[in-house]
Amino acid sequence: MSSLAAVPMPPLTQPLRDLAAWTAHFRTAEIPVLAHTAEAIEALRAVEDSVDANGIGETIAHDPLMSLKVLAHVATHRGSRVITDAETVISALVMLGISPFFRAFGPQPTVEQRLADNPDALAGLNDTLRRAHRGANFALGFAVHRMDHDAAVLHAAALLHDFAEMLLWCFAPTLALRIRHAQRQDPTLRSGAAQLAVLNIELVDLQQSLMKAWRLPELLVRINDERHAQSPSVRNVVLALRLARHTANGWDNPAIPDDVNDIAELLNLSPEATLQLVQGI
């Protein structure tokens, strides 16, 4: 998933059979990245001798799709003697090296190119990306307040939390739009139920399957698995993403007081202090 594919994978218009088929389809897909990420990589390639892992990492870490590509590449190409997981993009780049990074990642395909003929799907992807960034900012803020040593990993986990949905917008935009339409028609319809009806799978299961197939770090896999919801780290990310979803269009969503109460419990603060904190973030 790291080299530029000669022929782009055609978009899926019908659901695949089961989780194994979906996993196989995405496991080898050439994932597109944001156009400004692709442009920034080429600018850095031109001055390769003067850049370091931090410089590249700061450039690409804001892009969940490019972050996913780097983490998966490093995890699947890790030597047998390497026992430490790369849990953030910068640590992955340190492990990989600058020249090997540029060799592994040539000029990148972009989501803007891939979805040029489908503006509704591009808008849907951008909504998902905005929610991911908002959730990652909340997750980092909560983790810093909790003095969690894995704050950077929690930020990365929140940013990647909905990557399966992002992949769906890129590679099966017709199906992604069908799910969105079904939920707009019936606001009580659960995301998982809508996904199962349209895709034959739930995206949370696809995400876990791909993370394991790409051998992503165990901590990232665990944080992104809501079945471990009692873990403070997982709860940190889940509550951050929940608040990001509920505040996407402002602070008047009726679910927000419950979110604030749950976050207050996590952070050991009063609800009033918690509301002030999250609005500051």
Q: Is 130 part of any domain?
A: yes
Q: Give the CATH number, domain containing residue 250.
A: 1.10.3210.10
Do residues 190 and 202 touch, judged by C-beta distance below 8 A? Answer: no
**Range of the structural domain that residue 65 is part of:** 33-108
Same domain for 209 and 269? yes
40-159-245 Cα angle (round to 5)? 125
Return d(Cα 56, Cα 71) in angstroms, integer. Answer: 13
The CA–CA distances, whole Å, from 195 to 15, 85, 187, 192 equal 10, 32, 14, 5
Q: Is 24 part of any domain?
A: no
The CA–CA distances, whole Å, from 19 to 23, 160, 203, 205, 212 equal 6, 20, 9, 8, 13
Last residue of a domain, one of 54, 85, 108: 108
Same domain for 160 and 268? yes
Same domain for 142 and 86? no
Return d(Cα 251, Cα 155) in angstroms, integer. Answer: 22
pLDDT tens-place values along the chain, 281 residues long: 544 444 678 889 999 999 999 999 998 889 999 999 999 999 999 999 899 998 899 888 899 999 999 999 988 876 555 545 667 888 889 888 999 999 999 999 999 999 999 999 999 999 999 999 999 999 999 999 989 888 888 888 899 989 999 999 999 999 999 999 998 899 888 888 999 999 999 999 999 999 999 988 877 777 777 666 678 888 899 899 989 988 888 888 888 889 999 999 999 899 889 988 888 88
First to last CA, the chain: 34
**Range 44-61 burial, b when 16+ CB lie within 10 A, else e:** beeeeeebebeebbebbb
Do residues 33 and 223 touch, judged by C-beta distance below 8 A? Answer: no
Same domain for 187 and 130? yes
Q: Is 218 part of any domain?
A: yes
